[in-house]
């Protein structure tokens, strides 16, 4: 493809994908509300607030595909989530509609279903059970994707990401971890698939322990290779095992289920 847009390019995942996804397109258009450093020769940097509809429309113009990572990535006050995640998501889908409907890879989160327990095995049809306002904003994003597909044919891969870090950080992440390599190979499958539709894909590596069933998206040919189980001994040795009755041990969303509703400043 000619131009791939990555929002949230200054964030933890975005900074890594800036390098890993470069081979997918001639030009990477990288966007964030904050500084992204200097552009490489194949890069265009655009500072943009996702809550600004005109800026987002201009951002998406000329793009053939979008990896949407930008927004608030944890529990926060409603006003913050409203601006970056709800309005930001609406602005992105409207901008895509106005600009030829580039395919979107959307970063949703396990916190859309964080109130399921860790002994439950979920498929893509499991009812939503968000564990906070952040989780609700990801439910909103997933439903926006679904509605724009049904109404307008906008293709979006809804990636319900587990825990995307260099390596798993605690016992919960032995089930929820997705490696950067597996995220990148998923992007490759999403953008190369002849027909995508609007699938819900669990963003998780090939972990020994797993809560989620991705068999409905076998047609995409994505075969995650990494395994959080390879880190089990290290986690056991370095991270305190959570109390058996704690949220970290009981719920897929872990400690997020205990977070309060943060007041607006």
* CA–CA dist 66, 159 (Å, integer): 13
**Residue tagged 């825990």 (tokens):** 163
Both tokens of 27, joined, read 């030009």
Q: Which residue number places its CB atom closest to ligand NAI?
A: 11
DSSP-derived letter for residue 117 is B
Give the chain's radius of gyration (CA, Å): 18
Task: Let me know if 134 is a catalytic residue.
Answer: yes
Complex with ligand NAI: residue 103 or 160, whichever CB lies closer? 160
Q: Does 7 bind ligand 15L (CB under 6 A)?
A: no
Q: If contact means CB under 5 to 8 A according to the sort of partner, which of ligand 15L, ligand NAI, none does residue 51 touch?
A: ligand NAI
Name which of residues 95 to 134 contact ligand NAI (CB under 6 A).
Answer: 107, 109
Site string for ligand 15L, 15-54 (x = CB under 6 A): ----------------------------------------
In sequence order, what are the residues at sequence separation of 6 or more whose Cβ sits closer than 8 angstroms to the Cβ of residue 42? 22, 26, 27, 28
Q: If contact means CB under 5 to 8 A according to the sort of partner, which of ligand 15L, ligand NAI, none does residue 64 touch?
A: none
Applying CB under 6 A, among 7, 31, 73, 214 the residue interacting with ligand 15L is 73
Report, in Å, the least distance between residue 201 CB and ligand NAI.
Answer: 13
Both tokens of 8, joined, read 């949230």
* CA–CA dist 19, 60 (Å, integer): 20
Q: Does 69 bind ligand NAI (CB under 6 A)?
A: yes
Please answer whether residues 235 and 217 qualify as being in contact, where contact means their C-beta atoms are separated by less than 8 angstroms: no
| Coil, strand or helix at 55 | helix
Site string for ligand NAI, 132-161 (x = CB under 6 A): -----------------------------x
Please answer whether residues 7 and 68 qualify as being in contact, where contact means their C-beta atoms are separated by less than 8 angstroms: yes
Applying CB under 6 A, among 18, 65, 71, 222 the residue interacting with ligand NAI is 71
φ, ψ of residue 161 in degrees (nearest 5): -70, 140
Complex with ligand 15L: residue 29 or 171, whichever CB lies closer? 171
**Residue tagged 């809560």 (tokens):** 211
Which range touches ligand 15L (CB under 6 A), out of 83-91, 108-116, 151-159, 197-205?
108-116
* CA–CA dist 9, 25 (Å, integer): 15
Both tokens of 263, joined, read 């007041």
Applying CB under 6 A, the site for ligand 15L has a residue count of: 9
**Residue tagged 């490696």 (tokens):** 179
* CA–CA dist 165, 183 (Å, integer): 10
Complex with ligand 15L: residue 102 or 203, whichever CB lies closer? 203
Complex with ligand NAI: residue 69 or 198, whichever CB lies closer? 69
Report the alpha-carbon angle 162-83-151, nearest 5: 75
Which residue among the candidates 116, 121, 134, 231 is catalytic per the annotation? 134
**Hey, which residues are catalytic here?**
134
Binding site for ligand NAI (CB under 6 A): 8, 10-14, 32-34, 49-51, 69-73, 83-84, 88, 107, 109, 161, 163-165
Residues that bind ligand 15L (CB under 6 A): 73-74, 109-111, 163, 173, 176, 254
């Amino acid at each position: 493809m000619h131009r791939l847009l990555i929002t949230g390019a200054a964030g933890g995942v975005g900074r890594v994908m800036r390098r890993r996804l470069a081979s997918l397109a001639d030009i990477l258009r990288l966007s964030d509300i904050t500084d992204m450093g200097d552009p490489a020769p194949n890069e265009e940097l655009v500072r943009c607030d996702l809550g600004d509809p005109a800026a987002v429309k201009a951002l998406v113009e000329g793009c053939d595909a979008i990896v949407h990572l930008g927004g608030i990535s944890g529990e926060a006050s409603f006003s913050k989530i409203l601006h970056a995640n709800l309005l930001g998501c609406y602005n992105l889908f409207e901008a895509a509609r106005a600009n030829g409907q580039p395919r979107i890879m959307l970063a949703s989160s396990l916190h859309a279903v964080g109130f399921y327990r860790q002994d439950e095995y979920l498929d893509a049809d499991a009812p939503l059970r968000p564990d906070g306002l952040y989780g609700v904003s990801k439910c909103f994003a997933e439903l926006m994707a679904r509605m724009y597909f049904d109404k307008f044919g906008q293709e979006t891969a809804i990636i319900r990401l587990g825990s995307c870090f260099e390596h798993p950080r605690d016992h919960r992440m032995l089930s929820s971890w997705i490696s950067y390599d597996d995220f990148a190979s998923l992007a490759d499958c999403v953008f190369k698939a002849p027909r995508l539709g609007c699938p819900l894909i669990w963003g998780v590596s090939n972990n020994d322990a797993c809560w989620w069933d991705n068999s409905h998206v076998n047609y995409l040919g994505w075969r995650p290779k990494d395994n959080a189980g390879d880190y089990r001994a290290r986690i056991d040795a370095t991270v305190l095992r959570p109390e058996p009755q704690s949220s970290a041990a009981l719920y897929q969303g872990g400690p997020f289920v205990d977070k309060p509703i943060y007041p607006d400043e």
